[in-house]
Structure 1
């Protein structure tokens, strides 16, 4: 608790929402994995997921997304009703290992209380499994995991610092 002018208030813990990009077409992108696009089914799945996410009443104040074509499309669909200025696209998230993603998240501005990470497997599944430390959770395309963190500072994020609150698909 924090004391402010004799009044006590609880510190608000952080929320991390992890989303694996939607279903992607293996025949698009001119032969490069980075340029693969979402399928029609993948787009429809994300639109349904967006409805569920809106109903959850979680307010995202920062989005960190891989810069690949399919993750950009995923981010733009899920975040279409959000302020575009909260979106950040990073080449570092593409095919990143857990340690790289943790490093990127640890540098988040602490004013952000809820961050949405849009990425790829195996990195996103490994990240969720590491933070929740309750066994391996395989995140499928278009699957979103909401993690309530037991930290109030992004730099404290690590193994066992959160619990899976919700899985949306």
Structure 2
């Protein structure tokens, strides 16, 4: 059994006049949400053997804030394929993960992460958590998926169980839509 924990980057700063989307930083609310989600992960005793992430600035800053809240830093493996990736590309990234890792934290972007969850979790067995993801996988949200495989290369569509789905607003209503 492998565990995949997906963390969408936190709220980015659209007011920052960067030349490239790749370079867009987090805003203050995003930084706070990432810290809160790190604290939540620590409180739930989430463990990661391996961290893989998009090298976009907003993902780097999300992980920095997340690990501040988590209280421990794990050096990420940066994979450019995750930046704005489609589901087939994310499946390739997952299948390339080292088998020595039992629990992997992947941090990246939508719509790819949301679509990945919907492709991995069967519609008829996902229940209300999957329905929540179908509505939206907001910034700084965490989804925990259990995969019944011994090797990452065996991961297939419609094979995962969505163990949990947590949004920042579930932990602090001030981090919900419309908040600044």
Q: Give the alignment's TM-score, normalised by structure 2.
A: 0.81
The counterpart of 2:32, out of the listed 44, 49, 53, is 44
- 1:7 aligned residue: none
Q: Is the 8 A contact 2:35 2:67 kept in 1?
A: no
**In 1: Cα distance, 2:45 partner to 2:164 partner:** 12
Instruction: Quote the offset at 1:66 in angstroms.
Output: 0.4
2:66 aligns with 78
Q: Does 1:115 align with 2:115?
A: no
- 1:163 equivalent to 2:161? Answer yes
Q: Give distance in 1, aligned partners of 2:72 and 2:152.
A: 22
Q: Unpaired segments of 5 or more residues in structure 1? A: 1-12
The alignment partner of 2:60 has SS state of helix
TM-fit CA distance, 1:18: 0.5
The two structures, once aligned, show a CA RMSD in angstroms of 1.5
For residue 124 of structure 1, report the CA deviation from its aligned partner.
Answer: 0.3
Q: What does 1:66-105 correspond to in 2, within 5 Å?
A: 66-80=54-68, 81-85=71-75, 87-105=76-94
**Aligned counterpart, 2:14:** 26
The structure number with the bigger radius of gyration is 1
More strand by share: 1
Unaligned runs of 5+ in 2: 124-129, 168-180
Alignment TM-score, normalising by the size of structure 1: 0.87
Deviates more, 1:120-129 or 1:21-30: 21-30
Number of equivalenced pairs: 156
8 Å CA contact 1:72, 1:89 repeated in 2? no
